Amino acid sequence: MTTAANDILALDPAAQDLLFREAHTVGAFTDEPVTDEQVRAIYDLVKYAPTAYNKQPLRVLLVRSAEARERLVAHMWDGNKEKTSKAPLVAVLATDHEFHEELPRLFPVMPQAKDLLFSERPVRERAGAFNAALQVGYFILGVRAAGLAAGPMTGFEAEGITKEFFPEGNHGVLAVVNIGRAAENSWRPRLPRLEYDEVVTTV
């Protein structure tokens, strides 16, 4: 990026690199642990990112115990089993299909939204999945903002993980994210990206 382009962005170039240009999806990590304090700092940052009606349907399950890790790994696709076993911390990111129960508090400008817009489960599932997916992206950026690396994955048996960790049936698993300090040579070379003119049109 040119100096002129850097001047257009409010975020300083080092932060741009940390969050985007120099950040990679990581498959291997050092042994350095990820603390609860780090995760809290990540969440306390990314919770301010927008969702429709401020619904905030994302739920984060931290898989710390060896027993829980074994249960999770059993549902990962073969190519993701080893990296999930060895990561310092693994987070299961899911949608809460009952997010509407919090709307009177989270969206007080329209307290009737809970019943008027989201009384039907299929509507909640669609709205929740979209907005929680946004929050997954925010969460990954938050991990990077903490100076850590993220290895987000969708290569798993979603139904199996949901039944294993959310047996009440009110959550839907979206992603599993390995978190830690990146090990040396733990990512592939940067893959191509579409250019501005391939993506952006003006009408």
CATH of the domain at 156: 3.40.109.10
Q: Is residue 134 part of a domain?
A: yes
* pLDDT for 71: 98
For tokens 């829980």, the residue is: 68
What pTM did the predictor assign? 0.95
Q: Is residue 86 part of a domain?
A: yes
Would residue 70 count as lying in a domain? Answer: yes
∠ at Cα 23 (29, 87), nearest 5°? 20
| Residue 107 pLDDT | 97
Pairing of strands 89-96, 171-180: antiparallel
pLDDT of the residue at 51? 98
- Count of structural domains within the chain: 1
Does residue 8 sit within a domain? no
Domain assignment of residue 29, yes or no:
yes
Predicted pLDDT at 3: 61
Q: Which residues of the chain have pLDDT under 70?
A: 1-5
| Residue-level pLDDT at 34 | 98
Task: Determine the pLDDT at residue 4.
Answer: 65
pLDDT of residue 7: 81
Residue 60 lies in a domain: yes
- The C-alpha atoms of residue 198 and residue 14 are separated, in whole angstroms, by 27
Q: Is residue 93 part of a domain?
A: yes
Residue 67's domain spans which residues?
A: 24-182
CA pair distance 55, 106, nearest whole angstrom:
7
